[in-house]
Amino acid sequence: MPFKPRVFQDNVEPWVGDAARDELARACEEYDTVTVAPQKARCIRGMMDVLERDVEEETRRAIMEACGRRCIGAGTLGKPAASSSRRRTWRIC
């Protein structure tokens, strides 16, 4: 499922201060301009670093859950889960 910067910004906006909101907006704009996966991963890591610095853990969890619910469509929710042998572990560094 692709990262959607607008969904992320909408879910973050009520939880962060103005400085963090501006920093996250710049990171989302940068994400929209890059095309290579490692660059996109660095953008997302930068966004998460801002959240980790400026937002408490429970609030970060609520933001990420809200993003996930908005990104997952009804078609995705109705599909069976992949077997454990086929699951991937994603790491952003």
For 36-85, write each residue's pLDDT tens digit: 888 888 888 888 888 888 888 888 888 878 777 666 654 544 555 555 55
Tokens of 37: 């996966």
Q: Whole-prediction pTM value?
A: 0.62
* Secondary structure element (H or E) that encloses residue 34, with its range: none
Residue 24 makes CB contacts below 8 A (sequence gap 6+) with: 8, 9, 12, 16, 47, 50, 51
CA distance 35 to 23: 20
Please work out, in degrees rounded to the nearest 5, the angle formed at the alpha carbon of residue 88 by the alpha carbons of 84 and 92: 145
pLDDT reported for residue 71:
60
pLDDT reported for residue 79:
52
What band does 93 get if pLDDT is binned at 50, 70 and 90?
Answer: very low
Structural domain spans, the chain? 5-70
